[in-house]
Amino acid sequence: MNKLRLLGISLSAGLILASCGSTQKVTTEKTTQAKEQMLEAPKPLPQKFSTLYKDEDLKNWQHTNPFDSHMPGMSTEKAYNELLKDKPAHTVIVAVVDAGIDINHPDLKDIIWTNEDEIPGNGIDDDNNGYVDDVHGWNFLGAKDGKMAGPEQLEMTRIVAKYRNQWKDKSIAEIAPEDREMFELYQRAEKELAGKLEHVKQLRKRYDQVEAMAANTEKTLKEALKTDKLTEEKVKNLKADNPVVAKAKDMYLKGLSIDALKDFKDYVEIQEKYNLNVNFNGRIQGDDPDNINDRDYGNPNVIPPKKDELHGTHVAGIIAQIRHNGIGGDGVADHVLIMPVRAVPDGDEYDKDVALAFRYAVDNGAKVINTSFGKYYSPHKEWVWDAIKYAADHDVLIVNAAGNDGKDMDQYGEKMSYPNDGDVKGKEIADNFLNVGAIGPYYGPAMVASFSNYGKETVDIFSPGQKIYATVPFSDYKFLQGTSMASPDVAGVAALIRSRYPELSASEVKHIIMDSGLSPQILVIKPEEDDYKGEPKLVKFSQLSKSGNMVNVYNALLLADELAKKKTENK
């Protein structure tokens, strides 16, 4: 058998390898060869698995081998056990541009990047990189005096706030030609903001109704139990002969309580007070966010101040939380240092912060950047594109979450999510950007996450993004879902490849990941932007991304090894 033991050779017609014609010749040749050898395959995997897994069974599902587990995992453990035992490695820095990271978490503290050229806390820019005391990264959301930014507006809200007084009642004929693109963006923002404000108004009304029901339920139960404090155990043990009390008991045990409504309440209030409020300005940094050259802002505190600011810590854990240490879950990559770069608030990130965060990561040695965030308005997108090109020039791969709105990203214009690698159809600004959609743990029609954005031309690959167990602040762990969780899976794979094959470029690693994935030959439910109306539409999984694949660590390492050998032979 050929030396390249691609996973899938001896498996099924249910999962095969698929290649992308634009990638490196060696990967295409080997993938084609693997397809031909698939003729030997035994019976195919079934189209659907009905098993319902408990949370305990899903803690590391993303690392399983799909041909053993019947879940669409990445074959991470198989890769470590069979391919990496004696393979030398060097450390790769992965920058996590996000909402901050709990760098003291026991599963992360030993893998946090340290700037060895900076003396902690002396108030001096010892390494002359423009950032004072950046020992463990940089916080672009903070002020120089140490203050931390809170919630922020959405970008469309900022656009409306900036231009409403100037353009509210004008037509495009009254606008100077050089301003018409921004004027059209403003008009779209006004329309969308009005829609979202109406939606939140309805949510507030619904919350008030449900809160009243919850308050009445709790009042009934407290009177029946003769207590001022309810617990689940007390309510379970309550003998409810009275039908009113019985109904209250049932509703409480199904989740109707004031405490259970907290997240709902917080979401509505943050939308009302901050995200959608044109009169709110959360920028405390003291800089001009419309001036890319005004860069003297931020502080070195990369730790999120509150427990519920868990996003960045979770992303970091997915990439590299310590493997097989008996606590929490397992990261994708070893031999990694995580560089925290705080630039994503509760609200939309500023283009300026994102662009400078990318440049900071590149200038300080990151070889992979994970970007689990996004928005649909980007007034200074050219700054971010310039930073992406800067990363490409320095051989840095950016791995990006495709977004969680069920959108077809191939519908350019209003559907485009930022950051991206260009908004001209079929044209990428650089070849160092991977856009990632999300799948869940069930192989079959419901495999693609219902929330995931997709696109045959704009989303590159899919990876596990539902029920992902990883680190959160204050030494804890949690299951979360989103393309935000799918992206760091792929960032981890990229880091794993770069740690073993440093001679491979960012572009080569990107295409190896795309080409080496598995392509389930099944129909899946296509995500829909406004939820499902009528019968869900079934499409081929291969039609939802450019590669048509879901990421596979085992195959990626095999193809990386083959390409590295080819490069050595051709020197």
Q: Is 1 inside any structural domain?
A: no
Domain that holds residue 388: 15-148+299-569
432 and 479 assigned to the same domain: yes
* Co-location of 380 and 466 in the same domain: yes
Q: Mind spelling out the 3-state secondary structure of 68-98?
A: HHCCCCCCHHHHHHHHCCCCCCCCEEEEEEE
> Which residues contact residue 231 at a Cβ distance below 8 angstroms, ignoring those fewer than 6 apart?
none
Predicted local confidence at residue 531, as pLDDT: 66
Residues contacting residue 232 through CB under 8 Å, at least 6 positions apart: 253
Token pair 């943050």: residue = 270
* Domain end call among 275, 309, 331: 275
Give the pLDDT band (50/70/90) at residue 47.
very low
Same domain, 518 and 563: yes
> 113 Cβ partners below 8 Å, 6+ apart?
93, 136, 137, 337, 338, 339, 340, 364
Instruction: Tell me: do 134 and 165 sit in the same domain.
Output: no
Same domain membership, residue 95 and residue 176? no
Same domain, 127 and 169: no
Confidence of residue 9 (pLDDT cuts 50, 70, 90): very low
Q: pLDDT higher for 568 or 113?
A: 113
Task: Report the CATH number that the domain containing residue 404 is assigned in CATH.
Answer: 3.40.50.200
- Asked if the structure places residue 190 within a domain, the reply is yes
Residue finishing a domain among 260, 275, 290: 275
Average pLDDT over residues 248-260: 94
Taking the CB of residue 129, how many other CB atoms lie within 10 A of it?
15
| Same-domain pairing of 224 and 327 | no
- Spatial CB neighbours of 81, under 8 Å, sequence gap ≥ 6: none
Q: How many CA atoms lie within 13 A of 352 on its CB side?
A: 16
> Is residue 433, in this structure, part of any structural domain at all?
yes
Q: Can you give the pTM of this predicted structure?
A: 0.90
97 in any annotated domain? yes
52 pLDDT higher than 70: no
Say whether both 231 and 122 belong to one domain: no
**Alpha-helical regions (H) of 291-380:** 311-320, 351-363
Which of 242, 275, 308 is where one domain is finished?
275
Residue-wise pLDDT for 290-308, tens only, equals: 999 999 999 999 999 888 8
Between residues 53 and 385, which one has the greater pLDDT? 385
Q: Which of 35-44, 175-184, 370-379, 531-540 has the lowest mean pLDDT?
A: 35-44
Number of domains comprising the chain? 2
Same domain, 255 and 337: no
Sequence-separated (6 or more) residues with CB below 8 Å from residue 377 = 154, 155, 156, 159, 185, 189, 348, 418
pLDDT per residue as tens digits for the range 61-85: 999 999 888 899 999 999 999 999 8
Looking at residue 179, its pLDDT comes to 96
Residue 420 placed within a domain? yes
For the chain, what is the mean pLDDT?
A: 90
Q: Give the pLDDT band (50/70/90) at residue 21.
A: very low
**Structure tokens belonging to residue 107:** 């599963």
pLDDT in tens, 163-181: 999 999 999 999 999 999 9
- Rounded to whole angstroms, how far apart are CA atoms 111 and 342? 17
H helices of 254-350, where?
A: 262-270, 311-320
Question: pLDDT by residue (tens digit) across 423-454?
Answer: 887 889 999 999 999 999 988 999 999 999 99
C-alpha span between 466 and 542 (Å, rounded): 19
- Region 101-113: mean pLDDT is 97
**Do 225 and 193 share a structural domain?**
yes
Judged against a pLDDT cut of 60, whether residue 13 lies above it is answered with no
Q: What is the pLDDT of residues 193-209, one digit of tens each?
A: 999 999 999 999 999 99
Q: Which two tokens stand for residue 544?
A: 């939802």
The per-residue DSSP string of 415-455 comes to T--BS-S-SBTTB-S-S-EEEEEEE-S--STT-B-TT--B-
Shared domain check, 163 and 143? no
Per-residue pLDDT at 53 exceeds 90 = no
Position 280 in a domain: no
How big is the CA angle at 481 (ends 476 and 486), to the nearest 5 degrees?
A: 105
Residue 447 structure tokens = 């495999």
The pLDDT of residue 4 is 39
3-state secondary structure of 341: strand
The structure tokens listed for 114 are: 């340290």
pLDDT surpassing 80 at residue 42: no
Confidence of residue 109 (pLDDT cuts 50, 70, 90): very high
Give how far Cα 515 sits from Cα of 25, 280, 360, 460, 550, Å.
11, 46, 30, 10, 10
Residue 2 is assigned to a structural domain of this protein: no
Kindly report the backbone phi and psi dihedral angles of residue 524, in degrees, each rounded to the nearest multiple of 5, phi listed first.
-125, 160
**pLDDT band for position 351 (cuts 50, 70, 90):** very high
Check whether residue 203 and residue 324 sit in a common domain: no
Q: Say yes or no to pLDDT of 154 above 60.
A: yes
Question: Does any domain span residue 445?
Answer: yes
